Structure 1
């Protein structure tokens, strides 16, 4: 049988509108002397252009140069930065451990970091705030606190972080998986990815699967005393990371795990996510949608993949309904034939088209 004509990737590949580029400048900004946090940042595009603050996902996902390719380099001044504890920021979970890197690492701290980065880079007026997944969460949280700073919100893969959203991704049928692994006993991403789901649960005992996130958090909180314990913790982090990485694409790329299979990335990504998820994202339940009246004062552009299994489309639907309840339609609401990742072709092209079509900022 000839399978050569079947699609093997849903990623954008060589379909980008704008070319890869080198940063104009980069640096480390001290944002918390007490805890020792310094943010790594890079600037792309036009140094005199309209500022765009890019907020990466995760939390703990870090930035990569391709994230600057959504934006016309002649028009925009694009700021990428790695949030506390990950990427090239200092210290990281991988280099210093969670006790150090997760100190003073909350949503309020990250919002404060955006303000400090704005000030350090001389961004005094309004800016476009662009974020996907957890980046959409942080973008909304920032905008609620600082609406006067926001010319627009460009959000992809809306993540509201409610208990039902996390259960869909991490709990599913885990409690009964040992009895009937393919039974549809609860909603969840496992329905579309049963093999990958089995890998995620294989790390845990039957009892631990009653609360998957709590069980993984206990592993991540362990201070390894032996090489075997270190290996157990690392394997758990990589397994957690690969689960989200693989299911982020409509066409899973299990053989090309990329950064999600890298040990240092996985340690940061998994442990920071678990830290935030165990603390309700450090956001009061209902705060984001309950502040829709503030968000409604800003043009909100939404791109969400119809087949997103990390952040199902219902999360975007809830945000749109909240904006409508506050008397405002989203400036854009594009449901793409894609999954979760910003690097999926339809998501990437939709985001680029939105940025190309935004009204020019005055001044």
Structure 2
């Protein structure tokens, strides 16, 4: 079973001004002369963690991580202005150009898989390979499954009820738009209460086996504020994508070597997301991570992701 590579520290980090308002945090780890690989975090709004560096052999990879607009160590924190999918794709390309990288491997999980796919479909010539985990196709059906009383709420009704209890009494439409309006309203205490409840609901659903330490690490006030508000911001705007855009544009990336790893029992992003993507990318490799949910840290999923990054070194 593949385990994380040892903990490492960046050999370089900086803030990159991508427009007059936003500065995004970028770091580089591993071998400065290694094969470049970009890690794209989830959420939107989650930011990167130190473990995200550890899916890659630091002796062979030049590992690039960044915090997307308004989250993690990027500035201004929590900012939703000019924060949409096309801007994030542009930011990724600015990072590549700033680092003088001609082509790179791209690794993304959950929302990171969404952004990786849109980036690759926009800049296919910049991408050597894709390693994708926990696919989120950003369709209405995918958003509703988790956040508008869909299937996930039937599997975890107790968790869902705890989320609902954070909403104001009498709230009859506990969907994404309601939560977004509350989290962007003038009542900051209520906004934080809903953001915390949203984040705890989602993160509790991420692992097949309950993992309170995992929940606690991802739902502190600062993390919950950006995770919940950014996710709701993107979801009320259909992730700033056309209907079924990702699947419709798969012909643009059909020749990019792609490995898809998806937890068989993923409740946040059901397995059919990965299955449908694989049907549109018949040259891709689809790996069902058995006994796994949505999280990248679950043993089987971690094993398959590390194996995939080792495989991509041979391209």
TM interval, shorter chain, is: over 0.9
**Which residue does the alignment assign to 2:263?**
305
Aligned length: 314
Contact 1:199–1:239 (CA<8 Å) still a contact in 2?
yes
Question: Who is 2:35 aligned against?
Answer: 50
> Is 2:101 the counterpart of 1:123?
yes
What does 1:268-347 correspond to in 2, within 5 Å?
268-323=226-281, 328-330=282-284, 332-337=285-290, 338-347=292-301
Give SS of 1:86's match.
coil
Residue 104 of structure 1 deviates from its aligned partner by 0.8
Q: Which residue among 97, 105, 108 is the counterpart of 2:86?
A: 108
Q: 1:253 to 1:280 in 2, by over 3 A?
A: same
Q: How far did 1:269 drift?
A: 0.9
Aligned to 2:152: 189
> Alignment partner for residue 140 of structure 2, among 139, 143, 163?
163
For structure 2, which runs of at least 5 residues remain unmatched after alignment?
none
Shift of 1:231: 1.8
- TM-score (ref. length: structure 1): 0.83
CA RMSD of aligned residues (A): 1.6
Spell out the pairing of 1:30-109 with structure 2 (5 A cutoff): 30-33=17-20, 36-93=21-78, 101-109=79-87
Contact 1:25 1:44 in 2 (8 A): yes
**Residues 48/336 of structure 1: CA separation in 2 closer, same or farther (3 Å cut):** same
The 8 Å contact of residues 238 and 260 in structure 1, kept in 2 or not, is answered as no
Q: 2:302 aligns with which of 338, 342, 348?
A: 348
Q: Is the 8 A contact 2:45 2:231 kept in 1?
A: yes
CA distance in 1, matches of 2:211, 2:268: 15
Instruction: Give the conservation status (yes or no) of the 8 Å contact 1:43–1:78.
Output: yes
Tell me the equivalent position of 2:162: 199
SS of equivalent to 1:297: coil
SS of the aligned residue for 1:152 comes to: strand
Q: 2:121 aligns to what?
A: 144
User: Take 1:83 and 1:256, find their aligned partners in 2: how far apart are those partners?
Assistant: 21
TM-score w.r.t. the length of structure 2 is: 0.95
- Tell me the equivalent position of 1:27: 14
Unaligned runs of 5+ in 1: 1-11, 94-100, 173-186, 224-228
The range that moved more, 255-264 or 58-67, is: 255-264
Shift of 1:359: 4.5
Larger-Rg structure: 1
